[in-house]
Amino acid sequence: MEKIVILTGAGISAESGLGTFRDEGGLWAQHRIEDVATPEGFARDPALVHRFYNARRVQAAEAQPNAAHDALARLQRDWPSEVVIITQNVDNLHEAGGAQGVIHMHGTLAGALCAACGHRWTAPPEMAVGEPCPACAAPTARPDVVWFGEMPYHMDAIYDHLAGASIFAAIGTSGQVYPAAAFVHEAMMSGARTVELNLEPSTGASSFDEVILGPATEAVPRWVD
């Protein structure tokens, strides 16, 4: 059966009101990556990191899926082939829009993770420093997200999907963060047709067979329908 593999990034949630990372005024213009998105930053100042993710958890809880999330869920429902959605996003807007089986390669704001024993549980709206792990009681609860220098989640399943892809689409991602930035090459090697949908051409745009420019809420429904 034909398989469509879709990789999404922060740009698909931008029109739902969630900030991207690298656009002008984005999250990385306001926060130092080393401070809030590395294990070393968390070890240095866990309170700062919790404040950063607590604020984003509140914003994400208030956000609604947009026409691009809805269109991908529709594609999954209606297209007579397998449609796999891999997201780098830590929000749950694909699921809220009705998508199934979404692969969260950079984790999710909804999750808490014990840095000591690896136990996972549902994050409270506000995480605090020193919160005990429900499994081992260590005071090492952290957001269940993937920081720089850590291994993204579900990589074996992702590479299996890319190896079987007939179509690969990257939506709203700048192509600056690996390993996601290299998925287009994996898909190409599997013989997939590759397409980028973005507001502006990404760093790796020249690697794609086709580039469709425009806001996700317009470009994605047009591509799907």
Question: Which single residue is written with the structure tokens 């980028």?
Answer: 196
126 is in an annotated binding site: no
72 contributes a contact to ligand BJW by CB under 6 A: no
What does the block give as tokens for 159? 């590479």
163 contributes a contact to ligand BJW by CB under 6 A: no
Least distance in Å: CB of 175 to ligand BJW? 7
What does the block give as tokens for 100? 């199934």
152 contributes a contact to ligand BJW by CB under 6 A: yes
Q: Using CA atoms, how far apart are residues 68 and 91, in angstroms rounded to an integer?
A: 14
Coil, strand or helix: which one is 111? strand
- Separation in Å, CA 109 to CA 50, 61, 187: 11, 9, 28
Among 21, 42, 168, 208, binds ligand BJW (CB under 6 A): 21
Q: Using CA atoms, how far apart are residues 1 and 211, in angstroms rounded to an integer?
A: 25
Q: Using CA atoms, how far apart are residues 95 and 69, in angstroms rounded to an integer?
A: 8
Among 6, 83, 84, 90, binds ligand BJW (CB under 6 A): 90
Q: Using CA atoms, how far apart are residues 128 and 169, in angstroms rounded to an integer?
A: 38
Among this protein's residues, is 106 annotated catalytic? Answer: yes
133 is in an annotated binding site: yes
Q: Using CA atoms, how far apart are residues 140 and 16, in angstroms rounded to an integer?
A: 32
10 is in an annotated binding site: yes
φ, ψ dihedrals at 143, nearest 5°: -65, 145
Within residues 178-207, the interface with ligand BJW by CB under 6 A covers 178-179, 198-200, 202
Residue 115 or 146 with smaller CB distance to ligand BJW: 146
Least distance in Å: CB of 143 to ligand BJW? 8
Residue 137 or 155 with smaller CB distance to ligand BJW: 155
CA angle 47, 59, 45 (to 5 degrees): 10
Q: Are 162 and 187 in contact (CB under 8 A)?
A: yes
Question: Which single residue is written with the structure tokens 């995480």?
Answer: 127
9 is in an annotated binding site: yes
Residue sitting closest to ligand BJW (CB): 11
Active-site residue (options: 106, 119, 154, 161):
106
Among 55, 155, 157, 189, binds ligand BJW (CB under 6 A): 155
Site for ligand BJW, rule CB under 6 A? 9-11, 14-15, 20-23, 26, 37, 88, 90, 106, 145-152, 155, 172-174, 176-179, 198-200, 202, 215-216
Residue stretches of the annotated binding site: 9-28, 53, 56, 88-91, 114, 117, 133, 136, 172-174, 198-200, 216
Residue stretches of the annotated binding site for substrate: 53, 56
| Residue numbers annotated as active site | 106
